[in-house]
Structure 1
Amino acid sequence: MSHDDHRRLKIFAATGGEHLAVEMCKHLELPLGAAEVSKFPDGEIIVKIDEDIRGRDCFIVQSTSKPANDNLMELLIWIDTLRRASAGRITAVIPYFGYARQDRKDEGRVPITAKLAANIITAAGANRVLCMDLHAAQIQGFFDIPVDHLTATKVFCDHFAQDNEMNGDNMVIVSPDVGNVKVANMYAGLLDSTLAIIDKRRDSGSEVVSKRLIGSVEGKNVLMVDDMISTAGTICEAANLLMGEGAKQIIAGATHPVLVGL
């Protein structure tokens, strides 16, 4: 990064992105952008930027996780505030992109809310979006602005590569469902391990009626990888199946621990 780029860069922390924004600033040796977020007595959010950002390259960090609606609305207000303060470019850093599971019409008379969220983020004034391990990769195409879709795969693989019991022939990478096979296969390649898949057959699009393991885990350490763990229902069901198939040890790795109810 050139001196001019460093000088023009500003990173701001929204309510759902404070920790990450602070760490980003430490890494880049930048001060955190000066701003205030407050609420009116009726709960309406107001954002005030306390420094000149005219022409600056601004990043606003905000996950739209729980409370999803409040965090999404705050993100929109941040973007609008930055735009009206004449920011040169606005990048929305959204590590966890809420509403990503509503990415298609899987039955009649339902919305595609992931597309709606993309539309309103763009309409608010964002010039670019940066996110991590989207639940559905095709959401990148919902935006009419550039999207940088990052993955935590290398971070996980670097961690497990240090443990001889969790790589190579000692380990099997398991995809807890068919939809995550591409990601699981990437892990298997990086860790030089074999791949297994849990195939789930559903009745009427909801109730799981049967599960079967494609591959072998007998006597092996297992790493199950997924983009998120929400209720943990899928992961727990998969773990029970793998234990029955003779797995030695089971570890679950997910980028986004939503963990509903905790």
Structure 2
Amino acid sequence: MTAPRLKVFSGNSNRPLAEEICQHIGMPLGEATVTSFPDGESFVKINENVRGHDVYIIQPTCTPTNQSLMELLIMIDAAKRASAHRITAVMPFYGYARQDRKDQPRVPITAKLVANLLVAAGANRILTMDLHSQQIQGFFDIPVDHLFASPVFFKYLEQFKGDNMVVVSPDVGGMKMAAAYAGILGAQLGMVWKKRTNATTVETVNVVGDVAGKDVLLVDDITETAGTLANAAKIMRDSGALSVRAAVSHALLSPIAYERLALGHIDELITTNSVPVDTRGLPIKVLSIASLMADAIVRINNNESVTSLFKIKGF
């Protein structure tokens, strides 16, 4: 059976990534008008025929989060009403993923609400990367292809791997990810025990593992204020670490994050272009996930497995 013709569109949240993905696929980015009325309402018009096509809409729901999400939902609805054969929401970063459970009385599970909205709008499939919680896949009753940024990170980190490296999780929740990195890189494993005092402040309590005289790699899926990373890096320095790098899939850097990174506790922040990143002259290395996403889109369009994209070459 011949695969439906492929078309890729983008909202406004990360158009440069969408254009780079299309370059890897070898096709132009689809033409669509995505703008706002004076009162803030989003308006979308798809300027190409998509009837019977396999449509991919690239839109990480990053800052401005609510506008990015609405643009994505409206684009899905527009493609659905234009008789697209299948609509895949490509979300390199899935916003609201941290609100994935009821950890206090009378709070919502917004990650589930977003899943419901995407399906209600007309999405037939989700392609995303490094969800904050893997269980979010279970919020959907449609297929979810969940990619990992680790192959992109490992290719860059190969130059640093060795017996002197220690991979450290900045909190208990990231131990599984840290263990995977340590196993691939042939490094030792450590952990920071932390206590969060509020949404923007983290008080680091203790470090588990020997980091004296070691090159430390902190790994996490997301950073916004860099509080966790900055505190973990400081305690690594105080414990005698030679260098401290951080590998973070999604860098949603706020003004306070840049202030903390400027303190110099972290030698290099390594992240991806899943969301737009302004380095501001700081030691921030942005790795591209465009090739990874392009391969996944082509494989999904051809009804092929995406499992091989998880394999790490050269390790």
Match of 1:91 among 88, 92, 95: 88
| Alignment pair present for 1:17 and 2:45 | no
Number of equivalenced pairs: 256
CA-to-aligned-CA distance 1:160-215 (integer Å, 9 cap, x gap)? 11x2xx21202100100010111111111111111101122568999866621111
Secondary structure class of the residue paired with 1:199: strand
Structure 1 counterpart of 2:97: 100
| Alignment pair present for 1:192 and 2:186 | yes
Structure 2 counterpart of 1:74: 71
| Alignment pair present for 1:172 and 2:172 | no
Gap change, CA 1:29 and 1:99, over 3 Å in 2: same
Secondary structure class of the residue paired with 1:36: strand
Structure 2 counterpart of 1:218: 212
How many percent of aligned residue pairs carry the same amino acid?
53
| Alignment pair present for 1:8 and 2:2 | no
CA-to-aligned-CA distance 1:119-151 (integer Å, 9 cap, x gap)? 101110000011111111111111111111111
**Residue identity in the other structure for 2:247:** G
Structure 1 counterpart of 2:57: 60
Secondary structure class of the residue paired with 1:236: helix
TM-score for the superposition, normalised by structure 1: 0.93
CA-to-aligned-CA distance 1:84-123 (integer Å, 9 cap, x gap)? 0000000000011111111111111111111101110111
**Residue identity in the other structure for 1:239:** A
Instruction: Tell me the CA shift for residue 253 of structure 1.
Output: 1.2
**Residue identity in the other structure for 1:246:** G
**Residue identity in the other structure for 1:167:** K
Structure 2 counterpart of 1:128: 125
Secondary structure class of the residue paired with 1:190: helix
Q: Which structure has the higher relative contact order (CA within 8 Å, separation 6+)? A: 2
| Alignment pair present for 1:40 and 2:34 | no
| Alignment pair present for 1:137 and 2:134 | yes
Gap change, CA 1:205 and 1:81, over 3 Å in 2: closer
Alpha-carbon distance between aligned partners in 2 of 1:105 and 1:76, rounded to the nearest angstrom? 25
Secondary structure class of the residue paired with 1:172: strand
Instruction: Tell me the CA shift for residue 17 of structure 1.
Output: 2.9
**Residue identity in the other structure for 2:243:** Q
Alpha-carbon distance between aligned partners in 1 of 2:181 and 2:203, rounded to the nearest angstrom? 28
Alpha-carbon distance between aligned partners in 1 of 2:198 and 2:20, rounded to the nearest angstrom? 45
Please provide the CA RMSD for this pair: 1.9
Instruction: Tell me the CA shift for residue 30 of structure 1.
Output: 0.8
Structure 2 counterpart of 1:233: 227
**Residue identity in the other structure for 1:119:** N
5+ residue gaps, structure 1:
none
Alpha-carbon distance between aligned partners in 1 of 2:31 and 2:199, rounded to the nearest angstrom? 48
**Residue identity in the other structure for 1:22:** E
Alpha-carbon distance between aligned partners in 1 of 2:163 and 2:8, rounded to the nearest angstrom? 43
TM-score for the superposition, normalised by structure 2: 0.77
Structure 2 counterpart of 1:49: 46
